Amino acid sequence: MERIHTNQAPQAIGPYSQAIRTGSFIFASGQIPLTIDGVLVEGDIEAQTHQVMKNIQAVLQAANADLNRVVKTTIFLMDMDDFQQVNHIYGEWFGDHRPARSCVQVAQLPKGARVEIEAIAVVE
């Protein structure tokens, strides 16, 4: 098991790793819309979702992977009314790649974020 760490994504805000690689799998912790300085991106759900995807991409790159290696994601939303906007941006980032996915509405997310996404990727 290998702990994945990068300075190109926000640091963990608790006792966990940005990602863990075990065998061929990379388990990326949920990313919220924090900049690398740990500042929450203010503004609409679109801006927050783009930041989340940038963070996921940076963590995967630190593990020598990319979004095309993702096999499963889970999206956590504060408000399911944001689903269409998040879904559109998510689709832009993944392009034709279509990992399995779940999406749930939650009561609260860390730091007042409106969206969090976690990912599982497979590497050769």
Identity of the residue numbered 73:
T
Measuring CA to CA, which residue among 84, 73, 81, 86 is closest to residue 115? Answer: 86
SS3 41: coil
Q: Which domains does the chain have, with CATH numbers?
A: 2-122 (3.30.1330.40)
Q: What predicted TM-score, i.e. pTM, was given to this entire model? A: 0.96
Please tell me the predicted confidence (pLDDT) of residue 13.
86
SS3 122: strand
Please tell me the predicted confidence (pLDDT) of residue 5.
96
**8 Å CB contact between 84 and 115:** no
pLDDT per position in the chain (124 positions), as tens?
Answer: 999 999 999 999 889 999 999 999 999 999 999 999 999 998 899 999 999 999 999 999 999 999 999 999 999 999 999 999 999 999 999 999 999 999 999 999 999 999 999 999 999 8
Mutual angle of helices 45-62 and 83-94, in 10-degree steps? 40
Question: What is d(CA 19, CA 59) in angstroms, rounded to the nearest whole number?
Answer: 7
**Two tokens, residue 43:** 């503004």
The number of angstroms, rounded, from the C-alpha of 105 to the middle of its chain's C-alpha atoms is: 16
**Two tokens, residue 76:** 């956590």
Question: What is d(CA 73, CA 103) in angstroms, rounded to the nearest whole number?
Answer: 8
Hey, which residues are catalytic here?
Answer: 103
